[in-house]
Amino acid sequence: MKNSSTVFAGRHVLVAGAGVTGRSAVPVLLGLGARVTVADGNAARLAEFDGTGAETAVGLTEPPVDVDLVVTSPGWRPTSPLLVAAAEAGIEVIGDVELAWRLGQRREQPPVWLAVTGTNGKTTTVGMLESILRAAGLNAVACGNVGFAVLDAVNAGYDVLAVELSSFQLHWSNSLAPHAAVVLNVAEDHLDWHGSIEAYAADKGKIQAHSRIAVFNADDSWSVRLAGGHPRAVGFRLDTPRPGQLGLVEDLLVDRAFVADPAHAEELCTVADIRPAGPHNLANALAAAALARAYGVGTEAVAKGLREFQPGAHRAVEVGEIGGVRYIDDSKATNPHAAAGSLLAHPDVVWIAGGLLKGAHVDELVTAVADRLRGAVLLGTDSGVIAAALARHAPNVPVRRVPAGDDEPMNAAVEAARVLARPGDVVLLAPAAASMDQFRDYAHRGDTFAEAVRGLRDGADDRG
C-alpha cells in the first residue's frame, strides 16, 4: 500500500458509533497513526475499546475542537446532534465505506469494486457475484452490508470486491467510483430515516455517480431513472434483451451487452440453474452476471458460479414438507416489495405476514398476489393494516390473525396456516415487515418458523 499513514498520522479522527463500524475503523485508523476518539451513547459498547489506544466519549453532542474528520456509523441519521454540529463546524463527515475506498486507492494495485444496492435482492446478488468471481479464479470476496466490513476486506488485500451497500452507507459516501455498479430496484423502505422515497432513491443512485459502468434493471422505473444519462449504461430484463442488455430467451439467461456482436446473444446458463427460484432471483442473477461480465469474466465462469451459488439462510429456504404442503422461510422479505417477489414465485400460497411496516403501503402488494392466495395468517403490530388491505383487494381470501397477547405467535401462525393449506400449496413466511416487535431480528423470526414447522412434522409422525 502507498503510504496512507502520511494522510492520517497525527490527525484527530472522531468515530461516531461503537458498533460494527467502530470495531472495523478504529484499529485501522490507530494503525495509520491517527488519534482516535470513539463516541457512542452506550457506555458498555465503548468499554470494548479500553486498552486499544482510542479515547472514548459517552453521549457526545459536539466534536472535540481539534477533530478534522468524522467517520460515522451508517445507522446514525444526518440529524444526529453530533453530526449536525460537525457539519456546522465545517468538519468532513464520511462513512466507513468512503474511508475504505480512499484507503484502497492508495494501494499499489487498488482493489476493483463491483457494487450492488437496491431495496431488495442485494445480499443474494452479491453472493451470486462472489460465486461467479471465484469460479473465474479471482481473489474475490463479498463484503459491505453482508457482515464482512468492506474496510476489513480492503485491508485483507482482496483483488476484487463484491460490495453490498445500503442507502445509509451510500449517504455518507462521496468519491466512491466502482468499476461497475447496479441499483437493483427501489421501493418504499427506510422512509423514516431518509424522509421521502425521492431522498432514499437519490442516496441509492450515488453508487453510480462515478462508476465506469452503470447496470440497471430495465423492469424497474427507479433503476432506469437513476442510470439515465450515464455514459455507459447496461440494462437487464426478464424478457428478450435488446442489444446492449442481458435478459431471458425462453429458458436461457443470455448476454447481448458484453459480446463482440450485440446482434447475437451469448448463453450464460439456464433458468433451472438459478436458486432460489422465482422471477426476482432471475433478476438478481442477471444483475450479478452483468457486473461480472463488466469486469471481463467469461460465460463459463458465470454459469459455473450461478450453479454453485448457495442461498443464504432465511431467503426462500424450504424447511419442510408435510402432507403435501411445502413450508418456506423467506423471513428476509422485510418489506412489501420483497414479499411480492417471494409470493409471485408460487402459484398457491398460504401467506404468513406481519410485523412493523415502518410506514410502507401494502395495497399494491395485495393486489398483485391476490389470485394466488389460499389464505393469510397475520401477526405483529401492523397485522391490522395488512388485514384491511386484504379485505379491500382480496375479500374472498380467508384471513386468520394471531392475537397480540399470544406467547408463541409463530407456533400459532404455523398451526393456523396448516389448517388453511391443501396438498400442493406452499405455506410461505414472507412477512413484508420488520421483525423487532416480536422477534430479535429477521433471523430469529425465521428460526422460530422452522422450529414450528418441525413441531408440526413431529406431531404428524406421532399421529402416523
List, as residue ranges, the binding site for ATP.
Answer: 118-124
Closest CA to 301 of 135, 447, 115, 86: 135
What are the E-state strand segments in 3-68? 12-16, 35-40, 55-58
Matching residue, cell 423487532: 436
Are the C-beta atoms of residues 236 and 242 closer than 8 Å to each other?
A: no
DSSP 110: P
Are the C-beta atoms of residues 274 and 281 closer than 8 Å to each other?
A: yes
443 burial (CB, 10 Å; 0-12 / 13-18 / 19+) is middle
Annotated binding site: 118-124
CA 387 to CA 180: how far, in whole Å? 42
Residue 367 CB neighbours (<10 A): 14
Q: How many helices (H) and strands (E) does the chain have?
A: 18, 20
CA 414 to CA 245: how far, in whole Å? 42
Q: At what angle do helices 279-294 and 122-135 cross, to 10 degrees?
A: 50
DSSP 10: T
What are the E-state strand segments in 119-209? 140-144, 160-164, 180-183
User: What is the side-by-side order of every strand in the sheet holding 213-217?
Assistant: 140-144, 160-164, 112-117, 180-183, 213-217, 233-236, 245-249, 252-255, 266-270
